[in-house]
Amino acid sequence: MTCFYTDTGYVFEHCCKQYMWRAAVADILPISFQKIGRWWGNNKKEKREEEIDFVAYAYDSAIFGECKWTNERVNKPILEELIRKSELFPHFKSKYYMMFSKVGFDNNLMEQIKHGSVKLKTLGDLYVKL
């Protein structure tokens, strides 16, 4: 028997998207999105391919998500890269960010997150009742 999911990171991304659907139903997200999915495409300005773990969107608003299944804490440069990639979508007037991490976030990132457009979630957060 062959397992469809051979990469734990891919499974983690799937779990993060399932969390997003649950959070949408619980009405605890900044937008009520209609679609969610992985995005990849060309960055014409920098002449390279880009990838975003998920984009959840409706009309002119979006939540951009990064899911990290590593043993290292997620840091500020990872968030900055996600924000830079979101600039490829100028038609979204409202942009929010969700960062998911297997082991958590470094202190510098947590101190920088003072505004409501960025949410940080750990593996344990995926399985709490919303």
Q: Residue 61: which CATH number?
A: 3.40.1350.10
Domain carrying residue 56: 8-127
Position 64 in a domain: yes
At CA 77, angle to CA 71 and CA 83, rounded to 5?
115
* Entry pTM: 0.90
In a domain, 111, yes or no: yes
Token pair of 6 as six digits: 């051979």
Question: Which three-class secondary structure state does DSSP give residue 121?
Answer: strand
Number of domains in the chain: 1
Q: Which residues lie closer than 8 Å to 11 by C-beta, 6 or more apart?
A: 5
What is the residue-wise DSSP string for 56-90?
Answer: EEETTEEEEEEEE-SSS-B-HHHHHHHHHHHTT-T
The answer to whether residue 93 is domain-embedded is: yes
pLDDT in tens, 97-115: 999 999 999 998 888 786 6
Average pLDDT over residues 11-16: 93
Task: Flag whether 3 is in a domain.
Answer: no
Tell whether 37 is covered by a domain: yes
- Answer yes or no: is 43 within a domain: yes
